[in-house]
Structure formats: structure tokens, C-alpha cells
Chains A and B, each alone.
Chain A
Amino acid sequence: MSADTKEKTVNGSGTERHLNMIEAINEALDIKLREDPDVIVMGEDVGYFGGVFRATAGLQEKHGKTRVFDTPISECGIIGVAVGMGAYGLRPVPEIQFADYIYPGLDQLISEAARLRYRSAGDYISPMTVRSPFGGGIFGGQTHSQSPEAIFTHVSGLKTVIPSTPYDAKGLLISCIEDNDPVIFFEPKRIYNGPFSGYYDKPVEPWKRFDESIVPEGHYKIPLGKARHVTQGEELTVLTYGTMVHVAEAVCREKGVEADILDLRTLVPLDIEAIEESVKKTGKCLIVHEATRTSGFGAELSALVTERCFYHLEAPVERVTGFDTPYPHSLEWAYFPGPVRIGEAIDKMMAG
């Protein structure tokens, strides 16, 4: 949809190839497995079967059981062995089946992977990329819907990356795998097959209708720490990521607001320059995420914007988020920060 994305994605031959997000992720893994003999892909059901969301389909057949394999159901074990493999010199890409199941592996991530470089003064590193589907909107109940990104952004030594389009998913994942630090790569599962406007009663529009799903073949990277301008505008800055990029974009379009929508793409390290530049231009900043509100990543964004752009602000920074409850099953759409919640926040800011 955005001009600069289009420019980037047209592949020389003129024939445009559309992939959904799963296919783009699969391709990134395939390329890295081919290019780098140290890359290892593993996780529950990822090997023979190819993953419960099919993200690793066909990879074991292509690259063999030593490179792509199933693991026991132990997230602590998966991340723990990835620390050991990384220390030896491999580049593990473990999958955690749902972000909601990453918690048994937290000690290995927080106390070990995140600090290995620091405590060994660079003697050992932990170059792993933990892929995991996250977010709600699929009636997954409390254990298939969570957005725990702020738990990870709070840990020193972990990078946190969240794509919102197939093009970005491939380029970002390749960057993560090549990065020498541990990275959490959260995949917004609601938009695996198509972007989501927030209107849950409308049918899903497949990715192939959108330019952001034009994915060049072969290796390309999107640098970590660079936000994407989804739309350019003078009236309002919207800081968001993942599924909410599409919901926020739809609401701004509907309301006819000329918004500067920034898809952050990387939460740590954050593209602070792009944020400052945009907020100084518009004077208004709306933050949208699906995760719970209290101590969510929006709180960090709000603090940064207030610290750095205070004298440019024409209205208080607003946050639109999920509620501070576990993800409810039947009341999913009452929980989700949809068009009504975002729309009201925009109205309030535009009136101010």
C-alpha cells in the first residue's frame, strides 16, 4: 500500500511473486539453511510435520534431520540447548509453538542467552533467533493469544522483532538469524494469511491482494532497528507493530486522518530517530498495541516521546491497548483493541 514498500519490492524481472507470511518465513529459513551450514531449525512438531502453522514445511526433507528436527516438549530444553549450540558456534533458530508457551524457557533466555556475551566479556555469544507465533484474534483462548513482548523488551541483552507483512517477515528474519545477539521474533499469527482491518465479521483478505506480499526471491535483509513508514501524514503520529499496524491503518483511512503511521518492526533496538522526527512533525502521538496496558511496551514509548518531544506535543500521548485481563475466550472481540477503541482515541486527539 505504501509507496516506498512498493518500490522496494518490485523484483527486477517484472513478474511479481506474492507470498503469505508463512511462506515468506519458510523461504527465509530455507535460504539461511542453504547459505549457512551453522543454521539449525528445531522445535515441537517443526521437523517431519513442518510446524503446526506449516512455517517449516518441507525444510527437513530438503536439509535433513540434522539441520531441521523435532524436539521433546520442553521449552526450557529447547532454549537451553540453543544456548549450548550457539556457544559452540552454531546459529540455532528454535521455534516455540505459541508465545504463550515460552515461559518454561524464560530462565534460559533471561539469565543465560541474554547475558552470556556480557558475563563472558564477549568470550561466548548466543546468536539464536527464537521464532514464535503471538497475538490473538483467532479464538485461541488464554493460552494461544498472548502478546508477551514487553517481558522481553525489559530484559537487557535481548532484541525483539515483530514483522507485519510478508516482505518484512522474510527480510527481518534473515537479519535476525545473521545477528550475533539473541533475538525474539514474534510472528503475528492473526495476519499469517492476510492483513486484518479489525472488522472480525468481514472475511479475511488474502495477502496476495496487497503489495506488501510481493516478496523477491533470494537473500535480502531489512535492518534491525529501522521502522517502516506505513503512511505519511502531518496530523498525527501512530506508533504500532504487528497485527495492529493494519487495524490502525484501516481506522485512519476510515476517519480521513492524515496520519504518519510507523510500523516499529524492531522494539529493541528501537528506531528512536524515526519516532522523534515524526512526533516533532505532527505534535500528536498515538500508541497502539494488542498487549495488556500496564507496563506494556506502550508505556516505554510514551515515556520516550514525552522525554524527547515534550515541547512539540500539542496533546497528551495516548495509548490504545488490550485490557489488563487474561485473554478471554468468548469475549475476544470485546477485549481486542479494535476500530471503536482506536477511533475514539483518534477523535479525542484530533479534537484537542
Chain B
Amino acid sequence: MIEMINQIYSNKGDKLKGRQLPIMYSSREHSFFSISGNLATQTPQAVGWAMASAIKRDSRIAATWVGEGSTAEGDFHSACTFATVYNAPVILNVINNQWAISSFSGFAGAERTTFAARALGYGLAGLRVDGNDPLAVYAAERWAANRARANAGPTLIEHFTYRAEGHSTSDDPSGYRSAQEREEWPLGDPVMRLKNHLIEIGEWDEDRQEALDKECVDHVKAVTKEAEKNGILGHGLHHPFKTMFEDVFEELPWHLKEQSEQAIHERETKFPEGRPNS
């Protein structure tokens, strides 16, 4: 958790060295591929990853997620075509939360068909699930995973859901949809639904839920405080300047060496007394 929050702050504890926007994580350790800001690029990459697993005769499978709006990108079409041609062990998840910033899903073609139905045209297996029903999502995902592992083919899953909040913290949805819409969404909140279901079948109760909620909130608060000791974006305590030039290539070529020296020299000019962690 602290690593995730350090990344959000782009601070000196951030394993991605302050290079990425918040929540654009990467963790090879967890088989979690680096997130790009460029939409839909991950979809053919996931297919390629799955093809690599097959080429290497491994049993690993790939799963990728893309917004419904981003299915309009050509990359998504390439992903579907490669997945079907090579029978790649991959799950292509489309999160249909019905809004792409200010554009409703109709701008990705949803007024005429579902996203799951696209699978047909490519010869992929297509599923459409209630994305706010955690058990349904689990079942669909497991079915597709087993299918991929058995080399029975790729699956496209449309998760039908709703984006209740803004697209980002700088987005105000009142500019493009009615406030009421959120209230009228019929399929509920997935956490609430799971909770109610578990209570109904006698596996859970309100007291335990309340305790769990509190535990989670307290934990996040405590870890956030801890992460803040490593700095927050724009207020010092970032990674040293020289790290800016690392990882462009495996080794620093001469021009980046020169530029790195220039950056460090500029810091000394700007802050002659020195600054922590530079």
C-alpha cells in the first residue's frame, strides 16, 4: 500500500522514480504491466504477451482492460484480430462504464450494438456481464481464464457498469450529464451488493462490515501519512535530478551524460545552499 501511495505522490519513495501520473503503476513482481497514458495501446500488447507465453510453451495467460470509449482506437481492432488469428490465451476486458470523459458510450457505437457482440465479428468468445455484481464478474473471468489456459481461445468480456464520479479530479460531470442520472442507475454499488448478498446468506453482518470499513479507512489514512514523509508532488523530496536521465536507454550515451551534468549544475545555481535529496 505504501508503494502505491508513494507513486501517487511521485515522491522520493516512488519506485517509478516520479515519472508517471498517479496510479499509472507498474510492478513486474505482480505481473502488472506498466500503464500507458495513451489509450488502448495495452490491448495488442496483451495479445502479444499471451502469444509469447504460447511460443515459449508456458501456461501463463494475459488479461487486459480497456474503457468502452477507447475501443474506438485502431489498437483495439488489431488486438481482436491478432487474438483470433493466433488463438492467443488472452482475456480482453471492456469496462463499459458508459462515459468517456464527456462522451456517452454511443460515441463508441453502443447505441447500435453491445461491446460483447463485437466478439462475434472477430470470431472471439464474447460475454456480457453485470459489472457491478462481483460474483458474476468473478465467474465470467474464471470461465475465460480456464478457457485460455486450456488453449480453447481468447475471450472478450464486456463489463456493464456506470461511472458515478467524474472522469478525473479535474472533471466536473455536471457540464455534460444530469446529476439525477447517477441516482437513477439501477444496478447499485458493487461493494454494497456483495455485502448485502453475504449478509443474506449468513456469511457476514453489519457489525463486521462497519469494523472492516473503519479498519480500511484507518489503514489508508495511516499509510498516507507515512507516505507523505517521503514528500508530495511539487514540494521537494523527489528523486535526484540524475535519475531523470536513467532508463532512457540501458546505458547513458554521451549526450545524456552532458545533459545530466547540466541539470545538476542548474540545481546548484538555483539552490546554492543545497536542497535535501538532490
A residues touching B (Cβ–Cβ < 8 Å)?
44-45, 48-50, 52, 70-77, 100-101, 103-104, 139-144, 293-294, 323-326, 328-331, 334-335, 340-341, 344
Bound CA–CA A52/B75 (angstroms): 23
Interface centre among A73, A75, A328, A335, by most chain B C-beta atoms within 10 angstroms, is A73
Bound CA–CA A75/B72 (angstroms): 9
Q: Does any Cβ of A come within 8 Å of B89's Cβ?
A: no
Mask, B66-91, CB within 8 Å of A = 1, is 00011011110000000000000000
B residues touching A (Cβ–Cβ < 8 Å)?
10-11, 14, 17-21, 24, 36-40, 69-70, 72-75, 100-103, 107-109, 175-176, 233-234, 238-239, 241, 243-245, 248, 255-256, 259, 262-263, 266-267, 269-270
Residues of B within 8 A of A100 (CB): 37-38
Residue from B10, B102, B238 in contact with A45 in the complex, judged by beta carbons closer than 8 Å: B102
Residue from B70, B234, B241, B255 in contact with A334 in the complex, judged by beta carbons closer than 8 Å: B241
Tell me how far the C-beta of B115 lies from the nearest C-beta in chain A, rounded to whole angstroms: 13
Bound CA–CA A293/B175 (angstroms): 40
A139 and B107 in contact (CB under 8 A), knowing A44-B101, A330-B11, A335-B244? no
Residues of A within 8 A of B70 (CB): 73
Tell me how far the C-beta of B10 lies from the nearest C-beta in chain A, rounded to whole angstroms: 4
A323 and B244 in contact (CB under 8 A), knowing A48-B102, A329-B19? yes
Bound CA–CA A326/B249 (angstroms): 11
Q: Is the CB of A330 within 8 A of B72?
A: no
Bound CA–CA A76/B72 (angstroms): 10
Tell me how far the C-beta of B258 lies from the nearest C-beta in chain A, rounded to whole angstroms: 10
A329 and B21 in contact (CB under 8 A), knowing A139-B234, A324-B255, A340-B269? yes
The closest CB in chain B to the CB of A332 belongs to B234
Residues of B within 8 A of A101 (CB): 38-39
Interface centre among B11, B14, B101, B233, by most chain A C-beta atoms within 10 angstroms, is B101
Bound CA–CA A71/B69 (angstroms): 10
Residue from A52, A141, A326 in contact with B21 in the complex, judged by beta carbons closer than 8 Å: A141
Could you give 23 example pairs across A and B, Cβ below 8 Å? Answer: A49-B176, A70-B102, A72-B69, A72-B72, A72-B107, A72-B108, A101-B39, A103-B38, A104-B74, A104-B75, A140-B21, A143-B21, A323-B256, A324-B255, A328-B18, A328-B19, A329-B21, A331-B239, A331-B241, A335-B244, A335-B263, A340-B266, A340-B269
Q: Is the CB of A48 within 8 A of B269?
A: no
Residues of A within 8 A of B176 (CB): 48-49
